Amino acid sequence: MASDRTAVKALMRVGRRDLLAGAVAGLGGAIAIGTMEWFSVAAGYPLGVIPFATSIVLVVGSPEAEPAQPRALIGGHLVSALAGFAVLCLTGPHAWAAAAAVGIAILAMVVTDTFHPPAGISPLLIVSGNLPWSFLLAPVLTGVLMLAAFAYGWHRWVSRRPWPRLSQ
């Protein structure tokens, strides 16, 4: 009973416009995740090693944020994956190496101005799973390009918000 009142109070605090925007973002995220699940089956990769769920949340839910912009989205995933493969080649699939790969990926994203926090999972997956180089093409490159195309279409035609963010 108390949780029902808490939920009602929370909904009353949120304006109708924000509630609608959240519902639209939630729908977009659900569609993107469903598509990602379908492609994971088709590509033969378990969904757990496809690193885009948090990217979808960021790009659909906060499209104006710098890490949600195409440069960060695409570049961050590619730079992070390359950091993971570099560490894997140098050290092998060790737990400490996976941790180091995440740290190196963070540095690489900062240096290349492609900071996208959700991409930090890629080097962890790559090193700890001893993944092959083909992972860079599918699912990383293919997936992130599909995600960027989805975000562009979603924001232009459904949510009617500009994406990528217009220069200021």
pLDDT in tens, 152-163: 999 999 888 889
HSE on the CB side for 87, CA within 13 Å? 29
Sign of CA dihedral 97, 85, 72, 109: positive
More confident residue, 142 or 92: 92
More confident residue, 168 or 52: 52
Minimal CA–CA distance to 165: which of 28, 53, 21, 62? 62
| DSSP category for residue 118 | G
pLDDT at 47 (0 to 100): 67
Cα 69 to its chain centre, rounded Å, is 11
pLDDT tens digits for range 92-108:
999 999 999 999 999 99
Cα–Cα distance for residue pair 13/37, rounded to 1 Å: 34
> Is residue 78 a contact partner of residue 144, using CB atoms and an 8 Å limit?
yes
List pLDDT tens digits, range 59-72: 999 999 999 999 99
Residue 77 contacts residue 122 (beta carbons within 8 Å): yes
Structural domain spans, the chain: 2-158
pLDDT of the residue at 104: 98
Average of pLDDT values for 132-145?
90
Residue 116 has what pLDDT? 98
Segment 130-139 mean pLDDT: 92
Q: For residues 131 and 103, what is the distance between their CA atoms, to the nearest angstrom?
A: 18
pLDDT band at 15 (very low <50, low <70, confident <90, very high): confident
Entry pTM? 0.85
Locate 77 and state its tokens. Answer: 């995933």
Find the mean pLDDT for residues 126-141: 93
Polymer length of the chain:
168
Q: Which residue has the higher pLDDT, 131 or 20?
A: 131
DSSP 77-94: HHHHHHHHHHHHHHH-S-
The pLDDT value recorded for residue 121 is: 95
- Contact (CB, 8 A) for 87 and 101: yes
